[in-house]
Amino acid sequence: MPELPDVVVYCERLTALAGGTPLERLRLASPWVLRSVDPPPGDIEGRRLNGVRRIGKRVVLELEGDYFVVIHLMVGGRLRRRTPGAAVPRRRGLAALDFPAHTFLLTEEGTAKRASIHLVRGEAALARHDPGGIEVLSASPAEFADALTRERHTLKRALTDPTLVSGIGGAFADEIMHRARLSPLARTDTLGSGTLARLHAAAREVLTEWIERRRGEAGDGFPEKVTAFHPAMAVHGKHGQPCPVCGTGVQRIVHADAETNYCPRCQTGGRLLADRALSRLLKDDRPRRIEDLEG
pLDDT (mean) for 105-125: 92
Ordered alpha helix ranges (H), the chain: 4-18, 123-127, 141-149, 155-159, 170-180, 193-218, 264-267, 276-282, 290-294
Rounded CA-CA distance 162/236 in Å is 20
Q: Do 45 and 158 belong to one domain?
A: no
Per-residue confidence (pLDDT) for residue 198, from 0 to 100: 98
Alpha-carbon distances of 196 from 8, 134, 165, 200, rounded to whole Å: 25, 15, 14, 6
Q: Decide if 205 contacts 179 (C-beta within 8 A).
A: yes
Per-residue confidence (pLDDT) for residue 44, from 0 to 100: 97
Rounded CA-CA distance 24/267 in Å is 51
Residue after which a domain boundary falls, among 127, 158, 187 = 127
Residue 135 lies inside a defined structural domain of this protein = no
Q: Do 120 and 174 belong to one domain?
A: no
Per-residue confidence (pLDDT) for residue 279, from 0 to 100: 46
pLDDT class of 283 with cuts at 50, 70, 90: very low
Per-residue confidence (pLDDT) for residue 278, from 0 to 100: 44
Helix (H, G, I), strand (E, B) or coil at 114: coil
Q: Do 283 and 162 belong to one domain?
A: yes
Residue 133 lies inside a defined structural domain of this protein = no
Residue 205 lies inside a defined structural domain of this protein = yes
Q: How many domains does the chain have?
A: 2
Among candidate residues 169, 188, 132, the one with its CA nearest the CA of residue 257: 169
Q: Do 146 and 288 belong to one domain?
A: yes
Helix (H, G, I), strand (E, B) or coil at 203: helix
Q: Do 76 and 150 belong to one domain?
A: no
Per-residue confidence (pLDDT) for residue 72, from 0 to 100: 97
Residue 273 lies inside a defined structural domain of this protein = yes
State yes or no: pLDDT of 281 exceeds 90. no
Per-residue confidence (pLDDT) for residue 295, from 0 to 100: 47
pLDDT tens profile 30-46:
889 999 999 999 999 99
Q: Do 165 and 212 belong to one domain?
A: yes
Q: Among 151-155, 156-160, 205-209, 277-281, which is the least confidently predicted range?
A: 277-281
- 68 lies in which domain range? 4-127
Q: Do 255 and 279 belong to one domain?
A: yes
Other CB atoms within 10 Å distance of the CB of residue 64: 13
Say if residue 186 is exposed, middle or buried (CB neighbours under 10 Å; 0-12, 13-18, 19+).
Answer: buried
